[in-house]
Structure 1
Amino acid sequence: MKRRYFIIILKSIELKFIEKLVIEEESPRNPKFIDSPRQEFLCSHGSICIRLSQCHIISQLVKQSCVQIDKLRGLTCGSQGSELLVCCPQTCSPPPTSIQKEECGRPRISHLWSTSYSAIGIHPWVVRVGFRNKLTKSIDYLCCGSIINKQTILTAAHCALAKTATHKIVSVKVGEYDCNQDPDCAYGYCAPNAEDIPLNYIIVHPNYDSKTFTDNIALLVLKYPMNYTESVQPICLYSTNKDYIYVGHRAQLVGWGKLAGQVNSLPVQQQLQLPISAIERCALLYGASVPITGKHLCVGGETGKDACSGFGGAPLIFLDPRTHSRYYQIGLLSFGSDRCGEEGIPSVYTRVDKYIDWINLNAPKV
């Protein structure tokens, strides 16, 4: 049996930046950033590194003076500002409350439900992630993400931690459709201007591994809440960690970047319908290099249909088959092969519903 090998590509930073990409921690002098991909070595299996105030069982024991100081030190895994981070047992914590309290997953412009419409406002939850060029001071948008509430963006950990010699993550742009227009106008309608919102802090999954892309998911918390408009809306997340069966369905990748067959990235938001395959298909292709598990989705593999660069962290959108009236995010683009758009070569996505408890626990409630 002939073994096939692939170069795994992070589908985010444009190809000219790929070779310079360095995944590293933010400076420990900045306590607002929880972004160490090595915190998994500080907590035992079955526990996660979170703020003491978020760990119900340990915080209650501390209040009741049931935990000796020396034993509490043994449970710590770092700090965030003035607050301790502790290894919290996942099985003992109460279920987190949902961070989605408003309407989600429904575009506001009524004529969007025409099957032929695919322009301004069709996917108002997709954002561009901005990196400041240290040389020119301009902002280059090299990754994508999605709005899950007024102050939180969901994206890939490799985007949140990405640095080059010249670029560093600083902001997100909401309300964008055509990068060459501001405001975006179509069919006699003009959307509100797109807005760049600076980041306050970043939360990367504590088990993220930059070598294997395990738990490749992160939250970008904004300095201030965004205003919802026709072109700025949150996407829905499935509320429980049930085993939804997506295999055999098609979903839509949405973002900005270069698709298979394109010489350059297009300035407009792009949408690509892709098939969802059994996870074993991706395990066969990539399993010799990286672990492929049930926390992934295996997507694509059709000739000429793939995201080649710029789409890192972009959402995989699923129209709920029960109602056909609400969109949900089921995945975010993690990595793929250098053989972009080749028949039989799918890409790997982080499966979002496997992280819903972590998202609800860590995203700010606004």
Structure 2
Amino acid sequence: GDVVQDTRGLYTKNVFGGLWGNRPPLIEANQPRTTCSCKCGERNEVSRIVGGDEAGINEFPWMARLSYFKRFYCGGMLINDRYVLTAAHCVKGFMWFMIKVTFGEHNRCNATSRPETRFVLRAIANKFSLTNFDNDIALLRLNERVPISETIKPICLPTNNQNLYVGVKAVASGWGTLTEEGKVSCTLQEVEVPVISNQECRNTKYTASMITDNMLCAGYPKTGQKDSCQGDSGGPLIAERKHDKRYELIGVVSWGNGCARVGYPGVYTRVTNYIDWIRENTQDGCYCTD
């Protein structure tokens, strides 16, 4: 059937310079594994600059960098060996087959080791609305599985979909500009921001109708000291799980007004609202179960 050919990449390999060939079918093409022996959400402990915004090398091994026609334009994160989660506004209106996804990177301007790269076979966007950015979440199915290693690991999905995370100190990461109109950073940056309730978020300078239940706000609306910024669209907002100190994905960087402005916290897609949708659409991906 088509599925097997798709999994073997007969068509896609040809597009990206591979060869047509009667290779024997891969066993995994017929029986995709659904569970893998690996750990999700393990942040790599690294020595990092105190008080700095720069992440440690491979500190966030799930980070993916999306480029379009060789230009970096969005972030994303690995959720299993086959799928990347990103924002829908990063795929809407783009020719998804021109999106290249890069893993295991720290310094995107001066790479010492060769990062893993993949292409997108299929982009699955939820019922995304460009008018209010509701449902700003999308899945990218990669042309080949990604080998899970020390430097490339998926982020965990939330364990409890009722959790609102209010008051939780969350971490956003990306190569984003971090300052308004700034240059996109060469090295991966991180910022810690507290999650605020949607009620509080609707009482900021955003109007109440702008913040839907599918959104999550984080930042310092009163002082405006830290925020995630432009180049980080589609990147992760993560929080530490109490019981095992591993990290789960709670938000996808979606939109905001400027960067770290008073009265304008960052707005993220609320991942807990999409767990069923994510699982339904990633059944041929292998999730870490350790």
Per the TM superposition, whether the score is higher than 0.5 is yes
Which residue does 1:123 correspond to in 2? 60
Which residue does 2:9 correspond to in 1? none
Give distance in 1, aligned partners of 2:97 and 2:89.
12
Which residue does 1:106 correspond to in 2? 42
The 8 Å contact of residues 282 and 347 in structure 1, kept in 2 or not, is answered as no
Q: 1:147 to 1:317 in 2, by over 3 A?
A: same
Q: Superposition pairs for residues 191-340 of structure 1, below 5 Å? A: 192-205=113-126, 207-241=127-161, 243-260=162-179, 263-284=182-203, 285-287=205-207, 290=210, 292-300=211-219, 301=221, 302-323=223-244, 325-338=245-258, 340=259
Please give the secondary structure, in 2, of the residue aligned with 1:225: coil
Which residue does 1:175 correspond to in 2? 104
Give distance in 1, aligned partners of 2:36 and 2:206.
34
**How many Å apart are 1:309 and its aligned residue?**
1.2
Give distance in 1, aligned partners of 2:105 and 2:148.
13
User: In structure 2, what residue type is equivalent to 1:196?
Assistant: T
Q: Output one character per residue of 1:45-104: Cα deviation in whole Å (capped at 9) or x when no partner.
A: xxxxxxxxxxxxxxxxxxxxxxxxxxxxxxxxxxxxxxxxxxxxxxxxxxxxx8776310
Q: Under a length normalisation based on structure 1, what TM-score does the superposition of the two structures give?
A: 0.62
Give distance in 1, aligned partners of 2:39 and 2:61.
13
Is 1:345 matched up with 2:242?
Answer: no
Give distance in 1, aligned partners of 2:80 and 2:218.
26
Give distance in 1, aligned partners of 2:217 and 2:138.
20
Q: Which runs of 4+ in 1 moved over 6 A?
A: 98-101
Please give the secondary structure, in 1, of the residue aligned with 2:229: strand
Q: 1:199 to 1:250 in 2, by over 3 A?
A: same
Q: 1:102 to 1:229 in 2, by over 3 A?
A: closer
Larger Cα-atom Rg: 1
Q: Superposition pairs for residues 135-174 of structure 1, below 5 Å? A: 139-163=70-94, 169-174=98-103
Over aligned residues, Cα RMSD in angstroms? 2.7
Q: Is there any run of 5+ residues in structure 2 with no aligned partner, and where?
A: 1-5, 7-33
Which residue does 1:6 correspond to in 2? none
**How many Å apart are 1:214 and its aligned residue?**
1.1
Which residue does 2:31 correspond to in 1? none
Q: Superposition pairs for residues 46-85 of structure 1, below 5 Å? A: none
**How many Å apart are 1:240 and its aligned residue?**
4.3
The 8 Å contact of residues 130 and 170 in structure 1, kept in 2 or not, is answered as yes
Count, aligned residues: 248
The 8 Å contact of residues 131 and 168 in structure 1, kept in 2 or not, is answered as no
**How many Å apart are 1:282 and its aligned residue?**
2.6
**How many Å apart are 1:262 and its aligned residue?**
7.0
Q: Is there any run of 5+ residues in structure 1 with no aligned partner, and where?
A: 1-31, 33-97, 133-138, 184-191
User: In structure 2, what residue type is equivalent to 1:312?
Assistant: S
Please give the secondary structure, in 2, of the residue aligned with 1:337: coil
Please give the secondary structure, in 2, of the residue aligned with 1:146: strand
User: In structure 1, what residue type is equivalent to 2:60?
Assistant: H
**How many Å apart are 1:317 and its aligned residue?**
1.1
